[in-house]
Amino acid sequence: MLVPHALNASHHVAGTYAGQPDNLGWWDNMVGPGKPLDTRRFFVIGVNNLGGCHGSSGPITTNPATGKPWGGDFPVVTVEDWVAAQARLADRLGIERFAAVMGGSLGAMQALQWTLSFPERVRHALVIAATPTLTAQNIAFNEVARQAIVTDPDFHDGHYYERGVLPRRGLRLARMIGHITYLSDDAMMEKFGRVLRRGRPGYDFDIDFEVESYLRYQGDKFAGYFDANTYLRITKALDYFDPAADFGGDLSAALARARANFLVISFTSDWRFAPSRSREIVRALLDNRRVVSYLELDAPHGHDAFLMEDARYMAAVRAYFENIAP
């Protein structure tokens, strides 16, 4: 079982490391002993994407040609590149074929790409909160995030490590923008409402509303552990993903290569990768007479729903895996 990660996550899919009981894996509610993806029955592999900042080669690592960090010179990588790298990892581990590749969001794009790049090496693909391409609006949000980073005076064309600075302000803004797109309007209203931090309006530019506090907190936290160069590249990989591009935009033709069985799941309140986008994938799979099931769950959390605890979602994934390996 391979679980590729989404935008800001890592190989740390589930569980904790010794001595770090609070540092849970990003999909710990889904993956683990007795969880829907039961690690007592499946050997689960989490990978760090190439160009990332949690262990694999990326902008922070040293460019052997210069002896300095790659920084802005690190190449822009694509979803296809990631999948190709993961396949080489599988070769090294002696894995001919995965029982399943499962991912949400950008991870789902990788799961889908696996079925196209290596059709014979994937038995099942679980494609959750996915889209076959980004919309112009999706790309627009990514571009605002990137502009926040590259216009930060500390960015230095990506060569900030050697100057001993970090484009924190840009990265923080980028994360704040991203966070808005991960939540639904309803979920935000439910979580924060119009609650005032100080009980009454301050008529200044300190934090008034709870949602401002939340976004600033998320932005600060992210800027403290994530790398701006990685963020730029990941958003580019998202923008470029388009399996139908070589087929005149015909997704059905693009997916004709796939041999896997599919479980596609979307969430009604996800406006970032809306259910209609998942239905495009399903439609293309149906055109190719693939074995596919599709769940469109009425969940309130927006795009982040794929990471949330939801009894129906968990039950369906659990049932699916029980049929893969009874």
Catalytic center residues: 105, 270, 303
Dihedral sign for Cα atoms in the order 98, 104, 106, 112: positive
CB of 294 to another protein, least distance (A): 5
CB of 283 to another protein, least distance (A): 5
Residue from 16, 185, 323, 325 that binds another protein (CB under 8 A)? 323
Q: How far is CA 136 from CA 40, 74, 106, 139, in A?
A: 42, 26, 17, 5
Residue from 30, 31, 47, 316 that binds another protein (CB under 8 A)? 316
Q: Which of 164, 219, 4, 7 is nearest to 90 (CA)?
A: 4
- Matching residue, tokens 């007795």: 34
Q: Which residues in the 282-311 window bind another protein by CB under 8 A?
A: 282-283, 286-287, 289, 291-298
CB of 319 to another protein, least distance (A): 4
Kindly state the number of chain residues that form the binding site for another protein, as judged by CB under 8 A: 22
**Would you count residue 320 as binding another protein (CB under 8 A)?**
yes
Name the segment binding another protein (CB under 8 A); options: 28-36, 129-137, 171-179, 279-287. Answer: 279-287
Name the segment binding another protein (CB under 8 A); options: 144-152, 173-181, 200-208, 278-286. Answer: 278-286
CB of 310 to another protein, least distance (A): 10
DSSP secondary structure string, 130-179? --SS--HHHHHHHHHHHHHHHTSTT-GGG--GGGT---HHHHHHHHHHHH
Toward another protein, which CB reaches closer, 118 or 267? 267
Whole-angstrom distance, CA of residue 16 vs CA of residue 19: 8
Buried b (16+ CB within 10 A) or exposed e, 94-121: ebeebbbbbbbbbbbbbbbbbbbbbeeb
- Matching residue, tokens 């388009």: 242
Beta-carbon contacts of 312 under 8 Å, excluding residues fewer than 6 positions away, are 295, 297
Toward another protein, which CB reaches closer, 226 or 320? 320
Beta-carbon contacts of 204 under 8 Å, excluding residues fewer than 6 positions away, are none
Q: Which residues in the 92-151 window bind another protein by CB under 8 A?
A: none
How far does CA 255 lie from the centroid of its chain?
Answer: 21
**Would you count residue 263 as binding another protein (CB under 8 A)?**
yes
Toward another protein, which CB reaches closer, 114 or 320? 320
**Would you count residue 253 as binding another protein (CB under 8 A)?**
no
Name the segment binding another protein (CB under 8 A); options: 84-92, 117-125, 171-179, 316-324. Answer: 316-324
CB of 124 to another protein, least distance (A): 12
Which segments of 218-307 are extended strands (E)? 261-267, 292-297
Toward another protein, which CB reaches closer, 164 or 326? 326
Binding-site ranges for another protein (CB under 8 A): 263, 279, 282-283, 286-287, 289, 291-298, 312, 315-316, 319-320, 322-323
